[in-house]
Structure formats: structure tokens, C-alpha cells
Amino acid sequence: MDGYRLEQDSLGEMRVPEDALYGAQTARAVNNFPISGLRLPRPLLRALGLLKKHAAQSNQQLGLLSAEAADAISRAAIEVIAGQLDEQFPVDIFQTGSGTSSNMNCNEVIANRAARLLGQPAGSRAIHPNDQVNLGQSSNDVFPSAIHIACAEQLHKQLLPALEQLLQQLAQKSEDFADILKIGRTHLQDATPIKLGQVFSGYARQIELAHERLSVDSSGLYELPLGGTAVGTGINTHPQFAGTTIAAIARETCLPFREASNHFEAQGAKDALVATSSSLKNCSVSLFKIANDIRFLASGPRCGIGELVLPAVQPGSSIMPGKINPVMAEALLQVCAQVIGNDATVSLCGLSGNFELNVMMPVMAHNTLQSIELLSNGIRAFEERCLSSMQADQQRCSALLEKSLALVTALVPEIGYDRAAELAKQAHKTGRTLRELAMEDGIDAEVLDRLLDPAGMTEPKA
């Protein structure tokens, strides 16, 4: 038993490392789930700490917990919130689907740390993990509440600000490129002229809409299942416990958390998390389109499109000297691919709300929080190391525009579709310009000046 102590749970005795703050149930979970090496994300541990802190204070206010016990539990929970006890949370993400192992891990760590704060040894049960730390709670309402808190906080602290910064940068590029004319492209083929600023205004609007959708689609996270306990009926909890606790959490986080209007929905389903993950996927689709367009528009430098010039942030090849690759765009594309895959898992897990409880919550939490983190970091890196110093090659834009046969579209109102199509085919076959052939076809030079002006093709005419 050197280096270990014996702790007791409902299944009997269990050896626990002497210096561990966790107890028997956590030790069993460590033995049961040696699967991935992935642990609960830091934001989720913070959220569990917030719940336990305010639960203890609420139970004291309601006369259910002594001031001494509530104070010790709160102090220990604050250490969990601050990340001072993260090494005491060894349970794998792939565990019991309700998150019971992690809830009990938190209960045991806080109980034993609180006991030490009271001058008692770990394992003494001076503070009881179930009867006091988990008072008025169940894993079935605590763990999904913690997921909602963690995801909502990370969205507001990380991802939404990153999207706002990206939007500002794209809007600035739209202004910077407002007067640069270029050829448009549809079906990967030449189309009518467009301004580069217009292209970037479209990207900016995509991000603006992604931000709006994410804000709306994630609003369900503000409803917390706390108060439903085992199956949503609220057994073994004070009727004022959830409201009091959630109000305190809302004040500390400055987010509008509230008690779920229907606890049976809140615990039997995870639709709010599915909706959030789906919106993260949709955001990734928008980002993928933007990053992909930018890397193709920057292809070259001599034999590609080359209308954009990206900053050189690192050598691009181990064999080709001088090669520079669009690595920041490629990194963001990979982030988007991972988030889209994460959403598929969250969707499948959302199907697993069997009767009164979803039983795939830990991996839903892991994937959703990972998606938020990856998008936040990927967007910032792309904005700071690519987009902010990206330039337009105006000369290249003009050169490609002048070669295009798509300008013939502007002649259609004057000579009709069929004649315009014939001119385009002749120009392509002979290598002559549209202007030359159109003048031979009898169109007045002044009319051609007006119709073939690329800038005039970028706005609708009355």
C-alpha cells in the first residue's frame, strides 16, 4: 500500500494514489476507460467548478448546508475554476455517456480539497462528495449544464470575437480593392467583369451572416438542465435550488443563463448542442469557401491566376527553392474539415437521447468545444498572418480582364445574343479582339467605347 490509500464507495474499497485528491469512483473510472488519453477540456472543468461553487452557496442560503462546509466547498471549487487542480481530473472522454464519472471526479476532488482546507486528510469524508458537494444535483443535470456553460463562454470569449475581427478585415479589403477591376468567374470559366472589392464584400457578408446565425443558433445553450436531477422531475432537490444557482452563474459569467423551461426535453435531448454544432459546421463551410477562393486567386506566381499576392510566411518546399505556398489558407481548410467531421459525430450522438437521458454527452462536449477552439485559433491565424498583409496585383487583374471574351455579354442588348456569340467564337478562333470584329460588323466606335467599358459592367444600368 506504499503510495496509496484506501477509499470506499458503494462497490467497496478501492486503492487511490496517496497524493490524489480524487477518490474511489474516479480511480475505478481510470481503470475502466483507458481509451484515448483525452481528458475533459479546460473550459468544461471551469464550468463544473462554477456549478459546484454556486451550488454550495445556494444550498447554504437555503439552509441545507452549513456555512463551514459551504465555504470550504466554494474555496475548493474556485481552485477548480482557476485551473489549479487540473491534474486531478484523469478520466477519459470516452466514459459513461452521462458524464457521471467526471461529475464524481469533480465531487471527489472538491470534497477532498475542502477537507484539507478544514484541516482533515483526503479520504476522511469530512466533506462528503455526494451528500454535500453533489447536494441537490445529479450527474444527469449537472454535466449537460456544464457543457452548455462551457460552450457558451467559449463562443463569447473566443469565436464570436474572432469572427468580428475577420469581418472587419474583410470589409477593409473590400474598401482597399474597391476600384480594382478583374474578370469574374463562374463554372471556373471566364465571366463578366467584377471589382475585386465586390468579391471581398461578398466574403465579408458571408462572415457577418455566419456570426448572426451562430449567435441565434447557440442561444439554446442559455437554458440549463440544472434542477431536473435524475430524470427531469427534480427529485431530491430544493425547488429554489436551480433558480438560485443559475442566477449566480449568470451574474459571474455575464451570460443570460436560465433554468430550462422543460427539464424532460433538457435532459432527454441535446438539441441545443446539436444546433450549435451545426452552426459551427455552417461557419466552416463559409470559411472554407473564402480561404479556398483566396488561395486559388493567389495561385502562381507566374503560371496561375495571380490576382492576389499572399505574404510569404515560410518556405514552401524542401526541394524547390523559392517556392511559397498558401499555408495559412491550407491550415484553415483543415480546421474546417475537422469541424465538419466533429459535427457529424455530434449529430450521431444527438440521436442517442434514449428515453429520459442522452448517453453520449462527453464526446459531444469534446467535439463541440474542440470545434470552437479550432475555429477561433484558425481564424485568428489566417487573419493575422495572411489576410491582413495580403495585396492585390492590379496589373495582373487588368491583363487577364483584357484577354477575356466574356466582355461580349455587354453587346447583347445592342446586337442580340446570337450575333454576340458569333463574335466571341470568331475572336477566340482568330485571336483578334472583340472591338476589331465588332467594328467590322458595323457597330459604331462610340457605342463600343460605352458598351465595352469594364467598369460599366460591374453595376446594373437603369
CA distance 346 to 340: 10
Nearest to 100 by CA among 136, 131, 143: 143
Could you tell me where the beta strands, DSSP code E, fall in 24-170?
Answer: none
Query: Look-up: residue for cell 455566419?
Result: 210
The pairing of beta strand 258-259 with beta strand 223-224: parallel
Asked if residues 39 and 92 have their Cβ atoms less than 8 Å apart, the reply is yes
Backbone angles phi, psi at 242, to 5 degrees: -65, -45
Burial class (CB in 10 A: 0-12, 13-18, 19+), 413: exposed
Q: Which of 10, 124, 174, 187 is catalytic?
A: 187
Query: Look-up: residue for cell 475572336?
Result: 427
C-alpha cell belonging to residue 112 = 477532498
Degrees to nearest 5, angle at CA 448 with 444 and 453? 165
CA distance 435 to 402: 11
Nearest to 383 by CA among 201, 160, 163, 155: 163
Q: Is 323 helix (H, G, I), strand (E, B) or coil?
A: coil
Asked if residues 248 and 74 have their Cβ atoms less than 8 Å apart, the reply is no
First-to-last C-alpha distance (Å) of the chain: 89
317 is catalytic: yes
Q: Tell me how long the chain is.
A: 462
What torsion do the CA atoms of 54, 269, 96, 149 make, to the nearest 10 degrees?
A: -30
Asked if residues 112 and 21 have their Cβ atoms less than 8 Å apart, the reply is yes
Q: Which of 36, 66, 317, 388 is catalytic?
A: 317
261 is catalytic: no
Could you tell me where the beta strands, DSSP code E, fall in 269-341?
Answer: 308-309
Asked if residues 244 and 62 have their Cβ atoms less than 8 Å apart, the reply is yes
CA distance 83 to 72: 17
Q: Give catalytic residues, as residue numbers.
A: 187, 317
